[in-house]
Amino acid sequence: MDTENLGTSRGIGIGSFEPDEFAVFEGGIETGRAFAELPFDHLLFTGSTRVAKEVSNSAAKNLTPLTLELGGKSPALVCPGANLKRAAERIVFGKLANAGQICIAPDYVFVERAKFHDFIELLQTYIKKAYPRLNNNPDYTSIISADHFSRLNRMIEEAREDGAEIISINPDGETLEPSARKIPPTLILRPNPTLGVMQEEIFGPILPV
């Protein structure tokens, strides 16, 4: 967990809970593994499938029941009779809220071939309208961590190297410093379904179509 989120978590507990009711433990996979091996009555885990497997293995030693809320793929389907403008506008809104870092963001889009190019143009129009600037824009946030920033950039580069068309939408042509961890809204057109961007939850401002 990054420093900002740790501070928020600690702040929740101050003055609201007794010390034996709420606690924050810092650490990596070893801490998480040791925590999951404790004989709890029940464990709830929110996160990636990869880490969930580690948690499940550790909890199995005590047959601790688990509730897992994991990442996955959430496609949007634009039906032939749909209002294309409305669909594009709503998908842009849902995809780019918090720079795509919400669990209910559409992960990729299906649209019929006959309307593909019109839909791509509409997506770009609504993205530019919603986010005319990316730097110093409180409505277009940074990526949550350096690791996740690198992961998203690797997804884009993998798709580019595989031959997918990449459209990076930076309306004002701004220079985005890596330290700011901002990735422009990015469309990946007709990606190979075996690519990481089509196999893993994206959790960022990248939209395969």
Could you tell me whether strands 108-111 and 75-78 are parallel, antiparallel, or unpaired per DSSP bridges?
parallel
Handedness of CA 138, 140, 144, 146 (dihedral sign): negative
Q: Is 69 one of the annotated active-site residues of the chain?
A: yes
Q: What gap in Å lies between CA 146 and CA 143, rounded to an integer?
A: 8
Of 26, 103, 112, 157, the catalytic one is: 103
Of 4, 26, 69, 112, the catalytic one is: 69
The token pair that represents 100 in the structure block:
């795509």
The token pair that represents 44 in the structure block:
């709830």
Contact residues for 87 (Cβ-Cβ < 8 A; gap 6+): 76, 78, 119
Active site residues: 69, 103
